[in-house]
Amino acid sequence: MKRTALAGLLAASLLIVAPASADEGMWTFDNIPAAQMRQSIGFAPDQAWLDRVRLGSAKFGGGCSAAIVSREGLVQTNQHCARSCLQNLSRPGQDVVRDGFSAATRAEERQCPGLAVEVLTASADITPRILAATQGQTGQAFVTARNAATAAIEAECKAGAADRRCQVVALYRGGQYALYTYKRYDDVRLVFAPDNAAAFFGGDPDNFNFPRYAFDVAFTRVYENGRPAATPNRLKWRSTPLVENEPVFIPGNPGGTSRLMTTAQLEFQRDRALPYRLEQLSEMRGRLTQFGSLSPENRRMAASALFGTENSYKGIGGRRLTLSDPSVFALKAQQENEFRARLAGDRDTLAAYDEIAAAMTTYRTFWKAHDLVELSPGQNRLVGWARTLVRGAAEREKASGERLPEFADARLPATSRNLLSDQPAEAPLMQLQIEFWLTKLREHLTVDDPMVKQILGRESPEALAARLVAGTKLADPAERKRLWDGGAAAIAASNDPLIVFVRNFDAQARAIRARYENEVDGPISRGQERIAKARFRVYGNAIYPDATGTLRLSYGRVAGWTYAGQTIAPFTRTPGLFARATGVDPFLPDARWTTAQSRLSPNTIFNVSTTHDIIGGNSGSPLVDRNGDVVGAVFDGNIHSLGGEYVYDGATNRAVSVTSTIIEEALAKVYGRADLVAELKR
């Protein structure tokens, strides 16, 4: 899909790597490219604007973004960001994802188990302190020293404040370290989510496509001390429609990009990691689809897992397609070569490239074991809890700075809250997931691998998964609390089959993690740190860091695009929804919409495409105008944006949002929530 734009990209690349092209970049709030913004969209925000928008933006859960949109704690995000909350609130016979949710009164607003919303209140450059702490260290010693310094800095910052989270963030792949301080809301309640038929109209077929008609919005409310939080720093609501070409901004938390990876890292992604992930996602998709087709109950149970699987599959598929385009890869190689040519004489930085390549070569010999023994177990809720309990008990015996980072004092509250919240773990789905993981473990590492023998014993993946799920009591939050509070003694005494199971191979899993830190993460971090320093020397601050799941600002315009001779307009309008409705899922609007159809204005802009450089994690971000007012909620990118992991192509890369105009109209006319509209406008 990227071919037509490559000539342009190649031309641009003669300037190179760093200096971003128009509308490119996920910028930190303390380093926005003002001149470039003015040139491209005719406007650049001042410091007051930046502060206001930052304090009205939020991180939503682990992987989404949001905006504070009323003075009484109302938080706007996507329905698909609230999906895990909807899933967690579902019960047998009660499918909250499918049916949506609407709390007529505040008393009916329901707490989302385990969900937190965070606002970035301050940031500080702590690069010198981290560099001093890690000076001269390599391999695992480097990782250990960095973790210890991080734990200390975060603990100092948190200083016992219950509603504060402190996070050391490595920007520019280690070229800069920042300390971020968040105001954290731990009590987040669901206010409104539409039916899935409206939120995800078009389903997987339309996902990452445009024109689009998704009402992908949801509202939650943050509470403090049992009452709606006072949030004076809310973003204001704009009711007037967007205009083509007007400048707009997206503050949000893009999860991760790989633009500063070296070609050795990218080759590994292209040839190994991405195909592996895609095949696993495909197979899981097949399993979940078949599982869900058995009954409405199964469909309900598997809904979020299937959505997540299909969404990842499509997203990663686009990344693979981009990286496997020889001309895209040639462009990345050319950029790297040109930058290296500028480094002539800087042997240390040039050596960093070789060290990273050597680390990737090493990683190729054990990456599947790392994935399947250390990383995958946490992806199932039950096994993840068991591991948190087993490791947490052991780690809490140590000093904070010596623990695995997720158990350091400053991070323990989030870790334990996630463990102890009342999230369902429904047995049939858990069993399917655990069986799948164990099957892949055996398949990829082979039955003759000692670790596989240790993990499976003489059981089959099917029998073992069934036994673990049938016997464990960890689905009960009270039992998890008992074991968590009981610490190492309780874990040692436990006969819970899942605890016994995880305990049995935890030493091996930790050993792989240590090996990864020593032979892969350490050398790569050290190498990237040196490359980043060289980049600063050459380009100054005209570069943005790879996305890290932290707050960034993207800028751009309301615009469609032209591809393969076809021009796509930036706006869709309500009548298009009904024209696209075939009457069968996923093109089947809920009765509330068809009933309201005649009352809906044919001119309302429904979804909009903009030129922003965003990526997964930006979902739920507000789309704001030059005044910093909310004009929509970002929920997707077009198909061309999927290569954004590696390259931004301003000609075709588009972000997609649901507009404030349709949110306002549908809340009032489809869902009978004029009260919410009134709150937004207050």
Minimum Å gap between C-beta 370 and its own copies is: 18
Asked if 365 and 358 touch (Cβ cutoff 8 Å), the reply is: no
Phi and psi at residue 461, to the nearest 5°: -55, -40
Asked if 622 and 554 touch (Cβ cutoff 8 Å), the reply is: no
- Omega of the bond leading into 211 within 30 degrees of 0 (cis): yes
Among positions 186, 325, 374, 649, the unique one binding its own copies when judged by CB under 8 A: 325
Alpha helices in 31-76 (DSSP H): 34-41, 47-56
* Residue 509: both structure tokens together: 């899993």
622 strand-pairing partners: 633
Among positions 59, 146, 320, 503, the unique one binding its own copies when judged by CB under 8 A: 320
Q: Which residues touch 498 (CB under 8 Å, ≥6 apart)? A: 382, 383, 386, 468, 471, 472, 474
- Segment interacting with its own copies (CB under 8 A) among 159-167, 224-232, 254-262, 576-584: 576-584
How many C-beta atoms lie closer than 10 Å to residue 603's C-beta?
11
Residue type, 389: L
- The one-character DSSP state at 272 is I
Among positions 289, 362, 508, 627, the unique one binding its own copies when judged by CB under 8 A: 289
Among positions 246, 409, 459, 479, the unique one binding its own copies when judged by CB under 8 A: 459
Minimum Å gap between C-beta 312 and its own copies is: 13
Among positions 48, 160, 226, 458, the unique one binding its own copies when judged by CB under 8 A: 458
Residues 243-282 that bind its own copies (CB under 8 A): 267, 270-272, 275, 278-280, 282
d(CA 356, CA 115): 37
Among positions 175, 317, 556, 632, the unique one binding its own copies when judged by CB under 8 A: 317
Under rule CB under 8 A, residue 283 binds its own copies = yes
Under rule CB under 8 A, residue 583 binds its own copies = yes
d(CA 65, CA 78): 9
d(CA 595, CA 575): 14
Cβ closest to its own copies, residue 75 vs residue 432: 432
Under rule CB under 8 A, residue 284 binds its own copies = yes
Cβ closest to its own copies, residue 46 vs residue 585: 585
Asked if 226 and 599 touch (Cβ cutoff 8 Å), the reply is: no
Cβ closest to its own copies, residue 539 vs residue 587: 587
End-to-end Cα distance, the chain: 45
Say how many CA atoms lie within 13 Å of 231 toward its Cβ: 33
- Segment interacting with its own copies (CB under 8 A) among 199-207, 393-401, 617-625, 657-665: 199-207
Minimum Å gap between C-beta 226 and its own copies is: 44
- Segment interacting with its own copies (CB under 8 A) among 180-188, 223-231, 283-291, 416-424: 283-291
- The one-character DSSP state at 19 is S
Among positions 442, 535, 669, 673, the unique one binding its own copies when judged by CB under 8 A: 442
d(CA 562, CA 579): 23
Under rule CB under 8 A, residue 422 binds its own copies = no
- Segment interacting with its own copies (CB under 8 A) among 67-75, 205-213, 539-547, 623-631: 205-213
Which residues sit at the interface with its own copies, rule CB under 8 A?
202, 204-206, 209, 267, 270-272, 275, 278-280, 282-291, 293-294, 313, 317, 320, 324-326, 432, 442-443, 446-447, 458-460, 462-463, 582-585, 587
